[in-house]
């Protein structure tokens, strides 16, 4: 699957690691505007439900605002925000598991006025299966998979964001894709046999 930075222009992803060295540290407002979509998409892909996503995003930017003076290099803004996002999302995931072991379906994911009811339902089923498969992944694999496949970041961007060598990114991504692929096909077979879509 091609991953072109141009395809994600405006999502905040292309700017994650692309600042020029001489640029001044972005203001808090600039960071909000630039990274909002990145934070939102990452959180949603990592399991933040529609009824808590606003809180997750606001918590991320609350911490960003709180620690803004810590950011001294514009080039590090993306990885810095990613590390905050990752921690906030992980915190929500922990609490969600503790209090909501059997979460109710995410009602808001049903809203798709531009699709037919059948297409909407089909789309929602796919999103549910996707979320379940992502949830089952080891965290280190999930993060590179989400960044590469859902947010369409390049290997270099991912390496700089999470602070690991490119080889490690590709190694984790390859393993994650294999695992996801096997799980997706297994899920399909389970569904064909009429079994509930659990792991």
Q: Which residues from 51-90 bind other proteins, rule CB under 8 A?
A: 51-55, 57-59, 61-63, 65-67, 70-72, 84, 87-88, 90
Cα gap 192→182, rounded to integer Å: 15
Rounded to the nearest whole angstrom, what is the least distance from the CB of residue 18 to other proteins in the complex?
21
Contacting other proteins within 5-34 (CB under 8 A): 28-29, 32-33
36 forms part of the interface with other proteins (CB under 8 A): yes
Rounded to the nearest whole angstrom, what is the least distance from the CB of residue 96 to other proteins in the complex?
9
Contacting other proteins within 121-140 (CB under 8 A): 121-133, 135-136, 139
Complex with other proteins: residue 19 or 169, whichever CB lies closer: 169
166 forms part of the interface with other proteins (CB under 8 A): no
Contacting other proteins within 170-189 (CB under 8 A): 170, 173-174, 177-178, 180-181, 184-185, 187-188
Q: How many residues bind other proteins (CB under 8 A)?
A: 90
Complex with other proteins: residue 23 or 100, whichever CB lies closer: 100
With 0-12 CB in 10 A as exposed, 13-18 as middle and 19+ as buried, what is 12?
Answer: buried
156 forms part of the interface with other proteins (CB under 8 A): no
Counting Cα atoms < 13 Å in the Cβ hemisphere of 111 gives: 4
117 forms part of the interface with other proteins (CB under 8 A): yes
Question: Of the candidates 53, 57, 56, 51, which has an alpha carbon nearest to the alpha carbon of residue 107?
Answer: 51
With CB under 8 A as the contact rule, the residue among 149, 157, 161, 162 that binds other proteins is 149
Complex with other proteins: residue 18 or 65, whichever CB lies closer: 65
Rounded to the nearest whole angstrom, what is the least distance from the CB of residue 112 to other proteins in the complex?
9
């Amino acid at each position: 699957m091609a991953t072109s930075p141009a395809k994600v222009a405006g999502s905040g992803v292309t700017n994650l690691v692309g600042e020029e060295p001489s640029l001044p540290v972005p203001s808090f407002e600039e960071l909000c505007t630039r990274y909002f979509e990145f934070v939102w998409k990452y959180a949603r892909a990592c399991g933040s439900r529609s009824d808590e996503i606003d809180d997750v995003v606001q918590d991320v930017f609350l911490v960003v605002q709180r620690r803004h003076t810590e950011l001294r290099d514009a080039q590090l803004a993306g990885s810095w925000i990613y590390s905050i996002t990752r921690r906030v999302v992980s915190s929500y995931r922990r609490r969600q598991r503790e209090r909501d072991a059997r979460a109710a379906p995410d009602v808001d994911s049903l809203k798709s006025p531009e699709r037919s009811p059948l297409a909407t339902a089909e789309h929602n089923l796919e999103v549910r299966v996707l979320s379940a498969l992502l949830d089952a992944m080891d965290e280190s694999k999930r993060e590179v998979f989400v960044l590469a496949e859902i947010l369409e970041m390049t290997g270099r961007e991912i390496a700089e964001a999470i602070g690991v060598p490119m080889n490690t990114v590709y190694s984790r991504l390859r393993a994650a894709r294999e695992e996801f692929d096997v799980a997706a096909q297994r899920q399909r077979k389970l569904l064909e046999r009429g079994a509930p879509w659990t792991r």
